[in-house]
Amino acid sequence: MYNCWDVATALALEESRALAIATSSYALAQSWGFPDGQKMTFTEFYWFISRIASHVTKPFTVDIEAGYAVELKQLEANMMQLFTLDIVGVNFEDQDLSTEVPQLWTIAKQSARIQTIKDAAKKQNKTIFLNARTDIFFQNRVVNQELMIEDLNRTTAYANAGADCIFIPGLVDKKWLAYFIHHSPLPVNVMILPGLPSSSELQNMGAKRISYGPASYFSTMNYFQQNARKS
């Protein structure tokens, strides 16, 4: 998944024969002058996504960060509005972004949040592919057996709540990736980061989705700057 952030990049993906269109929350925020982490309002976010949705014809999946809501009632309302758009999937992370230092939701609370999104989709008579992102590997913790068990417990709970895939950005160690993929009850999505095994190695391990995340944005901006310096 080579991620986009606006109408122009989404259309470029369509013309490149991409099978699906996916956004990067970091890139989308940066392109409109916001820091990453739900610093825009949901109204602003909805408008940006609606512009992309109205221009693409391929299956369109959206990075919704933490749903722009803390309370389940507001999360449901946001999702009911979002699902009026022609989208087929969402990335949904398990950090509480309303606090100064984001913390992971408890497994029980995040499971309830996942269930809320799936229920909102049902109310709209839509089938949404929910890619449950866990930020456990972005918490500056040592990757070991204990952390693997903790993450697999989260993954199992998210699967029971209705998640269709588990997204584990931050894990790049080949040994632990292979371990997690082998034991995960859900298909595994990884994100391009320095040190990550090659795409062919990841496919051989059993990874089902490889996301570029903001890497596509960084590459484009770097190319733009280099050409600007030469002009």
CA atoms within 13 A on the CB side of 27: 24
Give how many domains the chain has, as a whole number.
Answer: 1
| Contact partners, residue 53, CB within 8 Å, separation at least 6 | 60, 85, 86, 87
Torsion angle in degrees (nearest 10) through CA of 79, 180, 109, 25: -40
Domain that holds residue 70: 3-229
Per-residue pLDDT of the chain (231 residues; tens, 9 = 90+): 999 999 999 999 999 989 999 999 999 999 999 999 999 999 999 999 999 999 999 999 999 999 999 999 999 999 999 999 999 999 999 999 988 888 999 999 999 999 999 999 999 999 999 999 999 998 877 899 999 999 999 999 999 999 999 999 999 999 999 999 999 999 999 999 999 999 999 999 999 999 999 999 999 999 999 999 998
At 183, which CATH number? 3.20.20.60
Two structure tokens written together for 181: 């993929």
